[in-house]
């Protein structure tokens, strides 16, 4: 059977198993919509504060909005209190998410010191209480968790953590097999994903070091996970989804040509400008454009000009010699 396959998460049926991971500062609805156009089967918002949702919901509105072509999406929430997480989950139901995902992996001290994010991987009992409260609040919408391998190398506890979450009602577990101490450094340990995939009664989604279609094929094959989540590998590269699907279905794929990458990057800028206003979008796009250019040969000079562009007209001028 092909490694590209449908996946069932509780009551949620998805036609394929190539996901866009939650990535704060990148996976806004504009980028999510481009990834869906280019073959992503499912998308996640970035982590959204449950405390902000109940105290200052207007601050979270822009993060919660769904893209027009986003028929099904997951909203990811973070927090340390079962009651607050349950209340926040109820609030976001008005956006009609297909899945509520609980962040138990964020390593940022501002988050972990409150007992949220990766602190929950270090505290499976509290994670279970949160899952249970959120499941109760949003049934029949399925609830998933995204965990790390453990707090640090001396406390690898993904098995305990995943078991606690599933027992409390989680319908999927996503694992980024690095510890909180590793943050995003070093190599992710895919053996941990294989462990969970072999044991859990619910689907396991794998994350970590997925940069190419071949990486995704290898993770699916080596670990037996049900789905893969592209994170840094999708930044400036929404094409990776259709390329991966092609590789999994036919054994081959073509890389998106230079002109298509630039055309998509420019469209990304225009869409972001409608969303945020031109000035803010142009600033945001500096980092994003650089990500699109990574795969383009001889892009250094172009990159140097683009990071100075202050408005869309300047972007257009810099790109005028590229016929897209």
Ligand X SMILES: Cc1cc2nc3c(=O)[nH]c(=O)nc-3n(C[C@H](O)[C@H](O)[C@H](O)COP(=O)(O)O)c2cc1C
Residues binding ligand X (CB under 6 A)? 21-25, 46-47, 76, 103, 105-106, 146, 176, 184, 188, 207-210, 231-233
> Token pair 């980028």 is at which residue?
31
Q: How far is the CB of 57 from ligand X (least distance, A)?
A: 18
The rounded distance, in Å, linking the Cα atoms of 316 and 22 is: 30
Catalytic: which of 106, 161, 225, 296? 106
Is the Cβ of residue 66 or residue 146 nearer to ligand X in the bound state? 146
Q: How far is the CB of 183 from ligand X (least distance, A)?
A: 9
Residue 65 exposure: Cα atoms within 13 Å on the Cβ side? 13
The question of whether 282 is a catalytic residue gets the answer no
Q: What length is written for the chain?
A: 324
Is the Cβ of residue 128 or residue 145 nearer to ligand X in the bound state? 145
Is the Cβ of residue 62 or residue 313 nearer to ligand X in the bound state? 62
Q: How far is the CB of 324 from ligand X (least distance, A)?
A: 28
Which residues have a Cβ under 8 Å from the Cβ of 6 and sit 6 or more positions away?
A: 13, 14, 15, 16, 17
Is the Cβ of residue 24 or residue 291 nearer to ligand X in the bound state? 24
Minimal CA–CA distance to 50: which of 114, 5, 3?
Answer: 114
Q: How far is the CB of 25 from ligand X (least distance, A)?
A: 6
CA dihedral of 114, 120, 126, 128, whole degrees rounded to 10: 140
Taking phi first (over 0 means left), then psi (-120 to 50 degrees means alpha), and beta for anything else, what does residue 205 get? beta
Tell me if 229 sits within 8 A of 244, measured CB to CB: no
Q: Which residues are catalytic?
A: 106
């Amino acid at each position: 059977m092909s490694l590209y396959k449908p996946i069932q998460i509780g009551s949620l049926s998805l036609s394929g198993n190539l996901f866009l991971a939650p990535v704060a500062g990148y996976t806004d609805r504009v980028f999510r919509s481009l990834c869906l156009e280019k073959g992503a089967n499912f998308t996640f918002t970035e982590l959204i504060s449950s405390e902000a949702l109940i105290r200052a919901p207007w601050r979270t509105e822009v993060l919660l909005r769904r893209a027009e072509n986003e028929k099904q999406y997951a909203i990811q929430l973070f927090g340390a209190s079962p009651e607050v997480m349950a209340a926040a989950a109820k609030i976001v139901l008005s956006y009609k998410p297909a899945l509520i995902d609980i962040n138990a992996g964020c390593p940022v001290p501002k988050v972990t010191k409150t007992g949220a994010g990766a602190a929950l991987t270090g505290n499976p009992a509290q994670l279970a209480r949160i899952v249970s409260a959120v499941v109760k609040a949003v049934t029949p919408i399925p609830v998933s968790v995204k965990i790390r391998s453990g707090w640090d190398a001396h406390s690898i506890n993904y098995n305990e953590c995943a078991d606690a979450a599933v027992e409390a009602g989680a319908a999927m577990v996503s694992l980024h097999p690095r510890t909180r101490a590793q943050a995003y450094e070093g190599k992710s340990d895919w053996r941990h994903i294989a462990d969970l995939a072999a044991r859990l009664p619910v689907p396991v989604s794998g994350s970590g070091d997925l940069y190419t279609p071949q990486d995704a094929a290898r993770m699916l094959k080596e670990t037996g996970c049900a789905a893969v989540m592209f994170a840094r590998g999708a930044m400036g590269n929404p094409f990776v989804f259709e390329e991966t699907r092609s590789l999994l279905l036919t054994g081959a794929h073509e890389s998106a040509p230079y002109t298509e990458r630039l055309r998509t990057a420019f469209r990304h800028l225009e869409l972001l400008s409608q969303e945020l206003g031109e000035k803010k979008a142009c600033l945001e796009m500096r980092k994003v454009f650089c990500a699109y250019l990574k795969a383009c040969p001889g892009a250094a000079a172009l990159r140097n000009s683009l990071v100075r562009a202050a408005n869309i007209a300047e972007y257009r001028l810099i790109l005028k010699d590229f016929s897209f």
